């Protein structure tokens, strides 16, 4: 998000929210099961059923408390 604020350009430009999430998913891979469950729980208008993918970068996803 910091990159997007500084550059005024989206890091993963997409045609809509779902397209952006798919682009992020292609790079970062499938989130851990517990984080994916939280995303599904809190989502009101999106379906997060993406096929499992292996991460292509060293970025880590951490669960906020």
**Per-domain residue ranges of the chain:** 2-42
Question: What pLDDT, in 10s, does the model give residues 7-64?
Answer: 888 888 889 888 888 888 888 888 788 887 887 787 766 666 667 776 666 555 555 5
pLDDT at 50: 66
pLDDT at 45: 67
Question: What pLDDT, in 10s, does the model give residues 31-47?
Answer: 788 887 887 787 766 66
Comparing C-alpha atoms, which of 15, 12, 8 is closest to residue 59?
Answer: 12
DSSP single-letter state for residue 8: S
63: which 2 tokens? Answer: 């669960």
């Amino acid at each position: 998000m910091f990159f997007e604020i500084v550059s005024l350009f989206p890091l993963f430009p997409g045609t809509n929210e779902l397209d952006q999430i798919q682009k992020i998913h292609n790079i970062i891979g499938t989130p851990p099961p517990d984080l994916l469950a939280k995303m599904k729980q809190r989502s009101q208008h999106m379906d997060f059923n993406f096929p499992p993918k292996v991460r292509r970068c060293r970025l880590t996803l951490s669960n906020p408390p």
